[in-house]
Amino acid sequence: MFQVTNTQTDKVLTIPDRDGLLSYINDQSVWAKDRKDTFNLEIHHVTSDGEILENKHVQLPLSGYVEEALAGFGLKKEKKRFSFGKKTSAQKPSNKQEGTKTDKQDLRMATSAPQKAKKIKDGDRKKARRSVSIFSIFLLVISTIAIGLSTYAISAYQLTKQHLNSVEKRLTLQEVEPKLEVVGRYFIATYYSGDSSRLTDYLSKDLKAEGVTTRENETLQSTMFESISQNKGTFKMTFVVQEATSDGTKKTVRLTLAFKEDKQSTYGYVLVRQPKYSSFTD
């Protein structure tokens, strides 16, 4: 199911399926366009237990079809959980007692004391060799089990570490995403203003030296946040931007921005690479 929050009114709406979500977003987009109003919706795709599967931010009114704005969103499947029960069976003790049988043995005296002593020594040697062989097999089995347990422990540790890193990374993204989205939107508005001097507070030390040229020949029409990812401390954000040229031609492009945290900067994050444009349809 989906939870839709209007960021202006903080009103939360729960929608049970994706078709209902598409219909609702389309209706709200038409409503906003008719009234020449602009507002943002924050969409959470959640499980029946309340676990968040994915997030999406949408700015209304939409610049295109709702299917394009939410392409691929809401299709993630909830993982099934299985529980394994243990079956126990009790065995009733038998009331029957096995009888013991006593076999009569014929005792025969040895005809020669030396021959009897020799047989006893040969038997002792065979028992000793048999004991050594059994002990060797026992050591081999124990060694094999120990190696197997060590391998399993190492694999389990690595999987657990990877899972914890993944969870930590996801929590970090959820925490910084709203802050970075605001910084990104402010940067884009300044980027299209034509005044390069106003970009200084957004740039890293290297980019200040390199310089970033503003988007002077295009006018910003709308901005829609698309996605965010993290790699070694760098947060890559993508926005879908609609811009218009001087002759009135409009086009939609995808703008990618790379930020890093800088607590000494004005906004807490700085741009570390040149803005990158790509086709929205790619």
Q: For 174-228, write each residue's pLDDT tens digit.
A: 888 999 999 999 999 999 988 888 999 999 999 999 999 888 888 999 999 999 9
CB 264 within 8 A of CB 236: no
* pLDDT computed for residue 207 by the predictor: 93
* pLDDT computed for residue 271 by the predictor: 97
* pLDDT computed for residue 240 by the predictor: 96
Neighbours of 199 (CB within 10 A): 19
Give the percent of the chain with pLDDT over 90: 44
The CATH T-level fold of domain 181-279 is Nuclear Transport Factor 2; Chain: A, (3.10.450)
Nearest Cα residue to 58 out of 2, 1, 7, 15: 7
Residue 280: pLDDT band (50, 70, 90) is confident
User: Which of 86-95, 109-118, 165-174, 258-267 tops mean pLDDT?
Assistant: 258-267
- Mean pLDDT within 87-97: 46
Paired tokens of 142: 């124990």
Look up residue 203 and give its DSSP letter.
Answer: B
* Type of residue found at 112: S
User: Domain map of the chain by residue range?
Assistant: 2-76, 181-279
Q: Residue 144 in 3-state DSSP?
A: helix
Q: Rounded to whole angstroms, how far apart are CA atoms 24 and 18?
A: 10
Indicate if the pLDDT at residue 171 is higher than 90: no
Token pair 């965010």: residue: 228
Beta-carbon contacts of residue 81 (< 8 Å; ≥ 6 apart)? none
Beta-carbon contacts of residue 63 (< 8 Å; ≥ 6 apart)? 221, 222, 224, 240, 242, 252
In this prediction the pTM is 0.42
- Mean pLDDT within 167-175: 70
* Residue-wise pLDDT tens digits, 10-46: 889 999 999 999 999 999 999 998 988 999 999 999 9
* Residue-wise pLDDT tens digits, 94-122: 554 444 444 445 545 544 555 655 666 66
Residue 264: pLDDT band (50, 70, 90) is very high
Indicate if the pLDDT at residue 60 is higher than 50: yes
**Which segment of 7-21, 70-84, 101-115, 228-242 scores lowest on mean pLDDT?**
101-115
* pLDDT computed for residue 282 by the predictor: 64
Look up residue 124 and give its DSSP letter.
Answer: H
Residue 90: pLDDT band (50, 70, 90) is very low
Q: Report the relative pairing of strands 234-245 and 250-261 from DSSP bridges.
A: antiparallel
CB 78 within 8 A of CB 48: yes
Across the beta sheet with 39-46, what order do the strands follow? Answer: 11-15, 2-6, 39-46, 52-60
